[in-house]
Amino acid sequence: MMAMSLLEQLSRVRVSSVLNNDVKQFGKKFLIDGNEETCWNSDQAQAGSGQWISLEFREPVLLEEIHLTFQGGFVGKTCQIHAVIGQEDATSYSKILDFFPKDDNSRQIFQIPNDGNKVTRVKIVFMESSDFYGRITVYSLDVTGKT
């Protein structure tokens, strides 16, 4: 079976913050709305904390790729992917990948290493941003894999 978008399998999307709490203009829904004109924009990072996007799936999925389109200048420089593997404790995240996006507007694809383990939750953590204030802007997000 070929990898497919897993967005239909999402039960919940959460984000660390929204710029000026303006969810109508920069909210999490714009991450996965399929519109390249809209975006999620985080607020400034608090000292010592990064921004993040959390995805919860209705059922366990096998992750293969994460696709991200940032706004250049507001890109995660040092990033990690954490996941809750299998049906274990829903709060027990394991780091599965470090990745380093380019600071540009292109669609970037990051391969997820997996050993056949399915995940129920994924957290994309932006440890550091190319923006001096730690803001992140994402125009599109997709996750591919198998159910």
- What is the predicted pLDDT for the residue at 45? 78
The segments of the chain whose pLDDT lies below 70 read 1-2, 47-48, 87-91
Residue 7 token pair: 């967005």
Question: Hey, what amino acid is at 71?
Answer: Q
- What is the predicted pLDDT for the residue at 107? 96
3-state DSSP assignment of residue 71 = coil
- What is the predicted pLDDT for the residue at 86? 73
- What is the predicted pLDDT for the residue at 1? 58
- What is the predicted pLDDT for the residue at 92? 85
Question: Hey, what amino acid is at 130?
Answer: S
Question: Hey, what amino acid is at 23?
Answer: V
- What is the predicted pLDDT for the residue at 116? 85
- What is the predicted pLDDT for the residue at 115? 82
Cα gap 141→31, rounded to integer Å: 5
- What is the predicted pLDDT for the residue at 32? 95
pLDDT, tens digit, 9 for 90 and up, residues 20-59: 999 999 999 999 999 989 999 999 977 667 899 999 999 9
**Domains, in order of start, for the chain:** 4-146 (2.60.120.260)
- Please state whether the predicted TM-score (pTM) of the whole model is above 0.85: yes
